[in-house]
Amino acid sequence: MTLESIIQSINDEFSAKAAIRDSTLARSRELIKFCANAIRATHRREPEIADSLLRQADEIAAKMIADAKAYPDIYFAGYTQDALKELSEAHLTRALILASPLPSPQSLGVESAAYVNGLAETVGELRRYALDSLRRGDVAASESMLDLMDEIYTLLITIDFPSAITRDLRRKTDVARSILERTRGDVTTAIRQEEMKTAMTAFEERVRSLD
C-alpha cells in the first residue's frame, strides 16, 4: 500500500466514526427528552402516555446502542452513558411509582453502571411524588414512597467499588441519602399533623356529645 492509500483509509475510518458520533449525540439528546417527558407523565398519573414515550425512547436507545457499540470510546462516552442512565431512571421511576415489575439492566440493554446511577436518581423523583401525595392529603402514598427510597439507599450503599467502575455512584448515593432524610422529616411532620388533626376531631366530637 502507498502512503496515500493508507491515509485515505484512515480518513474513511474517521469519517465513518465522526458520522456515528454525530448521530449518537443527536440520539442521546432526543432520548433524554423522551425520558424526561415520560417521567413527567408518570408524575401526572398518565401511565398510557408514559408507556408510549418510553417505547419511543427504547427505539431510539436501541438504534443508538447498535451503532455506537462499533466504537467503544463513543459507546462508553459520557453523553452516551448519561442518556442510558436517563432511560434507566425513566423506566425505574414508572415501575416504582406504579408498583409494576422492575426492569433489569439486561431488559433495558444498558450497562450496570448506567442502571444503578439511574436508580440513584429515582430517589429524587420518589421524593417529588411523596410531596405531591402529601399535598393531596395522601399520607399513605408518601409513606410508601419513603419506604422505597429507604430500600434503594440501603441497597446502593452495598455497591462499594471505585468510581471508575461505577461512574461516580458514591456521590449520587450521598445525594440520595440527603434527599431521603429530608423526605423522612417531611413525611414525619405530615403524619404528626394528621394524628393531631384526628385527635382534635375526636375531642370536638366528645365535647359536642356532652352538650
**2 and 105 housed in the same domain:** yes
**50 and 127 housed in the same domain:** no
Instruction: Give the domain CATH number at 74.
Output: 1.20.58.2140
**86 and 153 housed in the same domain:** no
Q: In angstroms, rounded to a whole number, what is the distance separating the alpha carbons of residues 56 and 36?
A: 12
User: What is the number of domains present in the chain?
Assistant: 2
pLDDT classification of 18: cutoffs 50, 70, 90: very high
**120 and 35 housed in the same domain:** no
User: Could you report the per-residue pLDDT of 94-153, keeping only the tens digit for each?
Assistant: 999 999 999 999 999 999 999 999 999 999 999 999 999 999 989 899 999 999 999 999
User: Could you report the per-residue pLDDT of 33-83, keeping only the tens digit for each?
Assistant: 999 999 999 999 999 999 999 999 999 999 999 999 999 999 999 999 999
**5 and 100 housed in the same domain:** yes
Q: In angstroms, rounded to a whole number, what is the distance separating the alpha carbons of residues 11 and 56?
A: 34
- The pLDDT of residue 78: 95
HEC assignment per residue over 79-130 = HHHHHHHHHHHHHHHHHHHCCCCCCCHHHHCCCHHHHHHHHHHHHHHHHHHH
- The pLDDT of residue 210: 63
**Dihedral angle of Cα 81, 38, 151, 172, to the nearest 10 degrees:** 40
Among candidate residues 109, 131, 161, the one where a domain is terminated: 109
pTM greater than 0.85: yes
**pLDDT above 60 for 203:** no
Among candidate residues 75, 109, 143, the one where a domain is terminated: 109
Q: Return the SS3 of 189.
A: helix
**102 and 2 housed in the same domain:** yes
pLDDT classification of 200: cutoffs 50, 70, 90: low
pLDDT classification of 167: cutoffs 50, 70, 90: very high
**36 and 9 housed in the same domain:** yes
- The pLDDT of residue 189: 86
Which of 101 and 199 is assigned the larger pLDDT? 101
**128 and 211 housed in the same domain:** yes
Q: In angstroms, rounded to a whole number, what is the distance separating the alpha carbons of residues 206 and 145?
A: 35
Which of 204 and 91 is assigned the larger pLDDT? 91
Among candidate residues 78, 109, 140, the one where a domain is terminated: 109
Q: Domain limits at 132?
A: 111-211
**129 and 185 housed in the same domain:** yes
**12 and 91 housed in the same domain:** yes
